[in-house]
Amino acid sequence: MSTFIANAQLALENSKWHVIDANGQVLGRIATVAARLLQGKHKGIYTPFIDTGDHIVVVNAKTVKLTGRKEDQKIYRQHSGYEGGLREERARVVRAKRPERLVEEAVRGMLPKTKMGEAMYRKLKVYAGPDHPHAAQKPTKLEVA
């Protein structure tokens, strides 16, 4: 008996869309569920070197919950590439400026640091409010426990 290996066509046929409502949910819980779905590890056709994951839409990112004192202590960093180009912002400031970044950074950190990981990350759509423009894809609502 040989090992099953999915191909790109089979992965594309089995691709689905999911909506996660982040309203009042803990950031880490949402990120782990989203990362697992983006990688396709929940599917029987999972193959490590083929992108078999689904598309994820996260809504209400501005109301995601950070536990403990992370709102004031967690630091988001970005570097321009130039000397002295490091910018740091606390989670409270990031939430005020661009709340989608909280979820995006959490999920991106849980994905592989490869070209395929970048392809998985591109299938993540995050919106600050309750509305999203992906109704035509008929996404299923996903409950995070």
Which domains occur in the chain, in start order?
8-66+99-135 (3.90.1180.10)
Average pLDDT, the chain: 95
Model confidence pLDDT, tens digit, residues 84-111: 999 999 999 999 999 999 999 999 999 9
Q: What is the DSSP letter of 136?
A: G
Query: What's the token pair of residue 16?
Result: 């689905």
Give the whole-number percent of the chain exceeding pLDDT 70.
100
Six token digits for residue 124: 């993540």
* pLDDT given for residue 4 in this prediction: 87
